[in-house]
């Protein structure tokens, strides 16, 4: 009798805890009615919520299973993640690229999120998940595009196509062994690139005590680039860089509506690393010049070793979107430049192919390249 009462109480307690957890932790997933993807299953395995001092710490580990309910193959998807109660001005996103999901196939998306929210939190879902965009294999796009997902997914897709084409050509020209050599070289370069923490704030100002100075950009001119940087400056103070100003010239015969300039920083020890990109939405007629100005500050906190001290900068045009929607990205030949190769990470597709080689070997990599 006592044992059955105990069991009933345990079950009741479990139900209550599960209910409380569900009410407090689970995100609200909101997809448009005509969305080309549907949520088939959602697993929140190790998600939990616990009190931390005067706040609640929410650990959300969501594994969503989505189905392609459209008639086209999906190449990439961006999900918008918001926590209105905690960071009403900030947003997050989870993007999956290099996909090849056929109609009615399913694919997983993992979201691992941590949220520190007030104890007196409202009863609603703390996290909202929505769809920002889906890119198909014909480069058509669906979604509200609040985060400019269309552009970033398209650029990713072009990079993936460029690298797949390059690796396929290697196999065709020199067989799998040539492909192996290239993959191993790429892995070696990846290991040499410095890993840095970074903080960014818009409209910020230098906060450390080093004297601030204006430093002029040096430029790396890629032969095929439709845009050429003319001159540029940024303010540098110790491990902070801010307020880059650039002048660019459209040397192509086509109008340009968007471009990004990659920003390489050099520290006192001569190390170089890709700090970020300076994007600009503009209307740049053929032969015209334009200025780019971004009022934001980057800071590179120390992660072991000596503190970073920025001494020099190099800029290069990393992507261009023409007025007709087509894009330009650096070619593999451009990326073979020794300076760029030292600092630019491989594309997402190249990283994925390297992982296949690591886990499954050369034959599996060649088979993957032959898929599409």
Which residues inside 137-166 make contact with another protein, applying CB under 8 A? 147-148, 156
210 lies in the binding site for another protein (CB under 8 A): yes
CB of 274 to another protein, least distance (A): 8
- Out of 196, 230, 335, 362, name the contact with another protein by CB under 8 A: 196
Rg of the chain, C-alpha, whole Å: 24
Sites for another protein among residues 291-330 (CB under 8 A) = 294, 296-299, 303, 305-307, 309
- Give 340's contacts (C-beta < 8 A, 6+ positions apart): 220, 316, 330, 334
Nearer to another protein (CB atom), residue 179 or residue 353: 353
CB of 4 to another protein, least distance (A): 41
Sites for another protein among residues 23-62 (CB under 8 A) = none
Sites for another protein among residues 241-260 (CB under 8 A) = 244, 260
Please answer whether residues 220 and 313 qualify as being in contact, where contact means their C-beta atoms are separated by less than 8 angstroms. Answer: no
CB of 324 to another protein, least distance (A): 23
128 lies in the binding site for another protein (CB under 8 A): no
Sites for another protein among residues 326-355 (CB under 8 A) = 345, 348-349, 351-352, 355
Sites for another protein among residues 165-194 (CB under 8 A) = 190-191
Nearer to another protein (CB atom), residue 146 or residue 251: 146
- Out of 28, 110, 213, 332, name the contact with another protein by CB under 8 A: 110
What tokens were used for 40?
A: 């088939």
279 lies in the binding site for another protein (CB under 8 A): yes
Nearer to another protein (CB atom), residue 72 or residue 189: 189
184-221 b/e (C-beta count within 10 Å ≥ 16 → b):
eebeeeeeebeebeeeeeeebebeeeeeeeebebebbe
Choices 42-50, 178-186, 208-216, 328-336 (CB under 8 A): range interacting with another protein: 208-216
- Give 150's contacts (C-beta < 8 A, 6+ positions apart): 133, 135, 141, 143
- Give 87's contacts (C-beta < 8 A, 6+ positions apart): none
Nearer to another protein (CB atom), residue 1 or residue 191: 191
Sites for another protein among residues 3-22 (CB under 8 A) = none
The pair phi, psi for residue 133, each rounded to 5°, is 180, 155
The pair phi, psi for residue 111, each rounded to 5°, is -130, 115
Identify the three-state secondary structure at position 333: helix
Dist CA 290 CA 149 (whole Å): 25
DSSP string, 303-321: -SSSPP-EEEEEEEEEEEE
Sites for another protein among residues 70-99 (CB under 8 A) = 81, 83, 86-99
Nearer to another protein (CB atom), residue 26 or residue 254: 26
123 lies in the binding site for another protein (CB under 8 A): no
How many CB atoms sit inside 10 A of residue 53's CB? Answer: 8
């Amino acid at each position: 009798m006592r044992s059955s009462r105990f069991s009933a109480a345990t079950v009741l307690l479990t139900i209550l805890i599960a209910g409380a957890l569900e009410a407090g932790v689970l995100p609200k997933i909101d997809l448009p009615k005509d969305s080309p993807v549907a949520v088939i299953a959602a697993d929140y395995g190790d998600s939990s919520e616990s009190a931390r001092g005067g706040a609640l710490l929410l650990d959300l580990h969501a594994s969503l299973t989505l189905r392609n309910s459209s008639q086209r193959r999906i190449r990439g998807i961006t999900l918008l993640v918001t926590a209105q109660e905690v960071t009403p001005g900030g947003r997050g996103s989870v993007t999956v690229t290099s996909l090849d999901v056929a109609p009615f196939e399913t694919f997983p998306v993992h979201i691992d999120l941590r949220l520190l929210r007030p104890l007196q939190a409202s009863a609603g879902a703390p996290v909202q998940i929505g769809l920002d965009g889906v890119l198909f294999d014909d480069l058509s796009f669906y979604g509200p595009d609040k985060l400019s997902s269309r552009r970033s997914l398209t650029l990713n897709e072009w990079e993936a196509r460029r690298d797949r084409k390059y690796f396929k050509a290697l196999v065709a020209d020199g067989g799998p062994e040539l492909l192996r050599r290239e993959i191993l070289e790429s892995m070696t370069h990846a290991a040499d690139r410095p890993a840095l923490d970074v903080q960014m704030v818009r409209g910020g100002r230098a906060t450390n005590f080093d004297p601030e100075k204006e430093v002029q950009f040096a430029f790396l001119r890629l032969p095929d680039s439709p845009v050429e940087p003319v001159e540029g400056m940024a303010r540098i103070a110790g491990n902070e860089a801010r307020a880059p100003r650039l002048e660019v010239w459209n040397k192509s015969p086509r109008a340009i509506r968007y471009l990004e300039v990659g920003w390489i920083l050099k520290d006192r020890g001569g190390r170089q690393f890709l700090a970020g990109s300076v994007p600009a939405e503009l209307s740049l007629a053929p032969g015209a010049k334009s200025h780019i100005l971004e009022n934001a500050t980057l800071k590179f906190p120390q992660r072991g070793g000596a503190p970073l001290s920025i001494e020099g900068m190099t800029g290069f045009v990393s992507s261009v979107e023409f007025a007709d929607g087509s894009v330009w990205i650096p070619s593999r030949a451009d990326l073979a430049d020794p300076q760029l190769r030292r600092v630019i990470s491989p594309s997402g597709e190249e990283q994925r192919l390297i992982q296949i080689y690591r886990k499954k070997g050369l034959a599996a990599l060649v088979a993957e390249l032959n898929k599409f």
